[in-house]
Amino acid sequence: MRILVVEDDKDLNRQLNAALTGAGYAVDQAFDGEEGYFLGDTEPYDVIILDLGLPKMDGISILEQWRRAERNMPVIILTARDRWSDKVSGMDAGADDYLAKPFHMEELLARVRAQVRRASGHAKSEIECGPVRLDTKTARVTCDGQQVKLTSHEYRLLAYLMHHGGRVVSRTELVEHLYEQDFDRDSNTIEVFIGRLRKKLPSDVIETVRGLGYRMSRGADEA
Amino acid sequence: MKLKSLAFRLFATSAAWTLLVLPIAGLIIYELYRDDVQATFDARLEKLVYAIAVDSMVGAATPIAPNNRYEPLFEDIHSGWYWQIQPIDDATAPRLGSASLDGAEIDIPFRHNIKPDANGARWMNSTGPMGEALRMVEVIDTPYYHREGPRYSVLVAGPIDWLESRVANFLTRLAVALALTGIGLVTVTLFQVRFGLLPLRRIEQGLAEIRSGAAGKLEGELPGEIEPLQVELNALIASNQEIVDRARTQVGNLAHALKTPLAVITNEAREDKGPLGRKIVEQAEVMRDQVNHYLDRARMAAQVRVIGRATPVLEVLDTLKRALERIHRDRAIAIQITCPPSVRFAGERQDLEEILGNVCDNACKWAGSAVRVRVTADSRRTPGRLEIVVEDDGPGLSEEERARIGKRGVRLDETKPGSGLGLSIVTDLVQSYRGTLQLAPSPMGGLLVRLDLPST
C-alpha cells in the first residue's frame, strides 16, 4: 500500500512517514501544495493524508482539482482547523475522512487502515485467503494459526494481494503501489519477493496468471 | 401617530399654528368689514339728511315737505327708515315727518350733549317709535331765504338691524370659509408630514429587514439629508462583520500555529517509552486541552452578536448530513431529517454548524443504524424560537451520566481519542445565543438531545 503525506511541517511529516512506514506502508512525502497536488495527480496512491493550510496551494483546492480530474483515491484531511464548518467544507470538497490536530498516531493509523479496507471492499480488519490470515491492525500474518515471519517488503506485497484477493494484480500495479516514488523500480524484484513468499506460505496460495500478473488463489475470501 | 414621533411634532406645530392664525385673521377681517359697512351706512344717512335739509329749506320761509322721496322705505310705516324736521327756537312752527313715522315723533333726548362733527352733523344711536334700535344723524338748519329765522332740526334715521344683519351674515360666511380653510390646511399638513417622512419609514423597514436577516444592508435610494446616515450605517454593518470575520480567521490561524507543533511534540514523546516521554505526553495533552478550551473561548469572544444574521437550518442540516454519512459510511447510518425549509436560525452559520455538527456526530458515533433530526418552529406558541431534536438508536445514557455531561467540559469516555461528546463547546455556543440544551432518553432507544435556539 502506497501512501502520500502532504504536510508542510517537516517534523510532523517525518513522524507520519516513520509511523506509516513502521506500519508497513510505502510512503511519499510532499512539503507544499504544488508538490502534493502533482504527486497525487500523477501517482497511484492507496491513501493520501492531506493538510489544509499549505504553502503555494491550499488543501481544499488541491482536493477539488483531484476530484474534478476524477482521481478517486481515499483522502484523509489532517488539519488544525477543527470547526465543523471546516470539516463540512473539507468533506464537500471530496475528503473521505477528517482528523483534527493534535491527534493520536494510532487513531490516524486506524483511519488509514479503514480507508484502505474500504477502497478494496473489506469490512473487517482481518482478511483471510484460504489458510492465510492477515491482521491489518497488528500487521501480523498467520498460516493455519501459525505466525509467519515476513520482512516489510514481503508484508507489503502480501497485504496488497490480499486486499485485492480474487483479482489479478499486474506487476506494474504492484510496483506502483508497493514502493516509494524514488525507489529503484526493477520489476524483477517483485518476482524475487513472490518467490520468497511462496517459500514461507503454501506454494499454491499465490497464483501466477501468465502475461497478466498474480492473484491470491481461488477460495480465498475475506472472513 | 405616536406622541413622541417626529411626525407628531411636525404635525402638532403646524396644526397649532393654523388653529391660532385662522381665528385672528378672521377677527381682523370681521372688524374691517364691520367698519366698512358702518361707514357706508353712515355715508348714506349723511347724504339723505343733507338732501332733505336742502330740499325742505330752499325757497321757503318755513320748511316744506321734500319733493323727492329719496328712499321708498320712508313711505313704509315703521320701516325703520325715518326723517323728521322740528323747530328748535319756535315751538309753534310747523313740524314735519316721513310717512313711515305715522305721526309719531322721534325723541332726541341727548341732542345737547353730542358734539357735531366737522360738517355740523350730530351722530347718535337711539330707539324709534316701535322701540327699534336706530342710527340717526341730525343737522341744524334754517330756511334758505330766512337766514335769521328760527332754526330747525333735520334728522334722518336708519335701522341698526339692517347693519347688524349684514355683519352677522358676513360673519357666518367668513367662519364657514375659514373653518374649511383650516380643515384643508390640517389635512395637507398631515399628508405633507406623511409624505415628507416616508424615507424614514423606509429606513425603519430596512432596519427591520436587516435585523430579521432578510437584507444584508440598508437598500434603496434615500433623500440627500439622510443619505449619509445610510452610508454610515452600511459601513458600520460591514465593518462589524469584517471585525468578526477577521477575529475568526486569527483564531483559526492561532489554532493552526499551536496545534501542529503540539502534535509533533506528542508524537515524538510517545516514541520515548521512558518516564520523560510519559511526562511530556501527559503535559502535552494538558496543553492540548487548554489550547482547545481557550480557542473555543476566543471564538466565543469573537462572536459579537452581528445584527442581521439568519441561517437556513435545512441547508446546514443537508450539508452536515452529506459530511456525516461520508464520515460514518462504513456503518451505514441512516440520517433522517425533518425540517420545514422556512425555518431560519438567528445567528452565524458557522455556529449552527458547530452546534449541530457536534450533536449529530455524537448521535452517529453511538447510533446502531438510525439518527433522526427533527426541527420545529411554532411561530404562535413560541415566537422567535426554534426547536431541534436529535436522537439515535444507540445504547443511550443513564440518568447519572446525563447529569454528569450536563456539566461543561466533562468527557464521558476519556480513553478513546475523539470519542468525547464535545458538548462543552456546544453548551457554550447555545448559551451565548440564550438557548438551552436538554438531554433525555429517546423512544428510539438512545440519547435524545433537545436544543432550543432563537429563530427569525
C-beta atoms of A12 and B260 within 8 A: yes
Give the minimum alpha-carbon distance from B416 to chain A in angstroms, rounded to a whole number. Answer: 9
Give the minimum alpha-carbon distance from B327 to chain A in angstroms, rounded to a whole number. Answer: 6
Q: Is residue A51 part of a domain?
A: yes
B71, B55 Cβ separation under 8 angstroms: no
C-beta atoms of B264 and A9 within 8 A: yes
Same domain as A93, residue A157: no
Q: Is residue A95 part of a domain?
A: yes
Q: In the structure grid, which three cell numbers stand for residue A101, read together? A: 490536530
Same domain as A139, residue A113: no
Q: Is residue A23 part of a domain?
A: yes
C-beta atoms of B256 and A53 within 8 A: yes
Minimum Cα–Cα distance from B425: chain A residue: A83
C-beta atoms of B349 and A85 within 8 A: yes
Q: Kindly report whether the global pTM for this prediction surpasses the value 0.80.
A: no
Q: Domain containing A19 — which CATH number?
A: 3.40.50.2300
C-beta atoms of A91 and B255 within 8 A: no
Give the minimum alpha-carbon distance from A108 to chain B in angstroms, rounded to a whole number. Answer: 10
Same domain as A205, residue A134: yes
The B residues from 89 to 108 touching A (CB cutoff 8 Å) are none
pLDDT for A218 beyond 70: no
Same domain as A143, residue A87: no
Minimum Cα–Cα distance from B252: chain A residue: A81
Burial (CB < 10 A; 0-12, 13-18, 19+), residue A158, is buried
C-beta atoms of B267 and A105 within 8 A: yes
Structural domain containing residue A98: 2-120
Same domain as A152, residue A42: no
Using the Cβ of B259 and the Cβ atoms of chain A, whether some distance falls under 8 Å is answered with yes
The segments of chain B whose pLDDT lies below 50 read 408-420
Chain A residues inside the 8 Å CB shell of B330: 114, 118, 123
Interface residues from chain A to B (CB-CB < 8 Å): 9, 11-12, 15, 19, 53, 79-88, 91-92, 95-98, 100-107, 114, 118, 123
Cα distances (Å, whole numbers) of residue B225 to B10, B196, B199, B221, B229: 17, 12, 10, 12, 8
Residue among A64, A20, A75, A66 nearest A42 (CA): A66
Give the minimum alpha-carbon distance from A188 to chain B in angstroms, rounded to a whole number. Answer: 36
Q: Which of A70, A105, A120 is the last residue of a domain?
A: A120
Q: Which of A72, A99, A120 is the last residue of a domain?
A: A120
Same domain as A97, residue A10: yes
Same domain as A181, residue A110: no
- In sequence order, the 6+-apart residues with CB closer than 8 A to the CB of A134 are A126, A127, A128, A140, A141, A158, A159, A162
Report the distance separating Cα B324 and Cα A87, nearest Å. 10
Q: Is residue A222 part of a domain?
A: no
C-beta atoms of B259 and A102 within 8 A: yes
B12, B34 Cβ separation under 8 angstroms: no
Report the distance separating Cα B415 and Cα B301, nearest Å. 30
Report the distance separating Cα A46 and Cα A113, nearest Å. 10
Closest Cβ opposite residue A102 in set B252, B263, B327: B263
C-beta atoms of A102 and B330 within 8 A: no
Closest Cβ opposite residue B264 in set A15, A92, A97: A15
Q: Is residue A223 part of a domain?
A: no
Q: What percent of chain A has pLDDT over 70?
A: 94
* Phi, psi torsion values for B152, nearest 5 degrees: -125, 150
Sign of the Cα torsion A194, A197, A202, A205 reads: negative
Q: What is the pLDDT of residue B114?
A: 78
C-beta atoms of A118 and B417 within 8 A: no
Same domain as A75, residue A6: yes
Query: What's the number of domains chain A is made of?
Result: 2
Same domain as A137, residue A109: no
Chain A residues inside the 8 Å CB shell of B290: none
Angle (CA) A118-A119-A120 rounded to 5° is: 90
Residue of A6, A79, A83 to mutate, interface with B, max B Cβ within 10 Å: A83
Cα distances (Å, whole numbers) of residue A165 to A3, A51, A168, B265: 20, 32, 8, 39
Using the Cβ of B311 and the Cβ atoms of chain A, whether some distance falls under 8 Å is answered with no
Q: Is residue A221 part of a domain?
A: no
C-beta atoms of B357 and A81 within 8 A: no
Name the pLDDT band for A222 (thresholds 50, 70, 90): very low
Closest Cβ opposite residue B330 in set A15, A102, A118: A118
Same domain as A138, residue A114: no
C-beta atoms of B260 and A9 within 8 A: yes
Q: Which of A120, A145, A178 is the last residue of a domain?
A: A120
Interface confidence (ipTM) of the complex: 0.71
Residue of B249, B256, B429 to mutate, interface with A, max A Cβ within 10 Å: B256
C-beta atoms of B354 and A84 within 8 A: yes
Q: What is the pLDDT of residue B419?
A: 39
C-beta atoms of B357 and A84 within 8 A: yes
Minimum Cα–Cα distance from A123: chain B residue: B330
Task: Tell me the pairing of strands A75-79 and A47-50.
Answer: parallel
pLDDT for A3 beyond 90: yes
pLDDT for A219 beyond 70: no
Helix A188-200 and helix A171-178: axis angle, to 10°? 90
Q: What is the pLDDT of residue B418?
A: 44
Chain A residues inside the 8 Å CB shell of B267: 12, 15, 19, 105
The B residues from 271 to 300 touching A (CB cutoff 8 Å) are 284, 288, 299
Same domain as A212, residue A140: yes
C-beta atoms of A104 and B417 within 8 A: yes
Residue of A84, A88, A136 to mutate, interface with B, max B Cβ within 10 Å: A84
Give the minimum alpha-carbon distance from B440 to chain A in angstroms, rounded to a whole number. Answer: 24
Distance of CA B293 to the CA centre of its chain: 49
C-beta atoms of A101 and B356 within 8 A: no
Largest CA distance in chain A: 53
Q: Domain containing A161 — which CATH number?
A: 1.10.10.10
Helix A59-68 and helix A33-42: axis angle, to 10°? 20
Chain B residues inside the 8 Å CB shell of A82: 255
Same domain as A105, residue A156: no
C-beta atoms of B417 and A88 within 8 A: no
Q: Which ranges of A23-142 would DSSP assign to H, the alpha helix?
A: 33-42, 59-68, 84-92, 105-120
B344, B313 Cβ separation under 8 angstroms: yes
Closest Cβ opposite residue B330 in set A80, A101, A114: A114
Report the distance separating Cα B343 and Cα B352, nearest Å. 13
Residue of B260, B286, B311 to mutate, interface with A, max A Cβ within 10 Å: B260
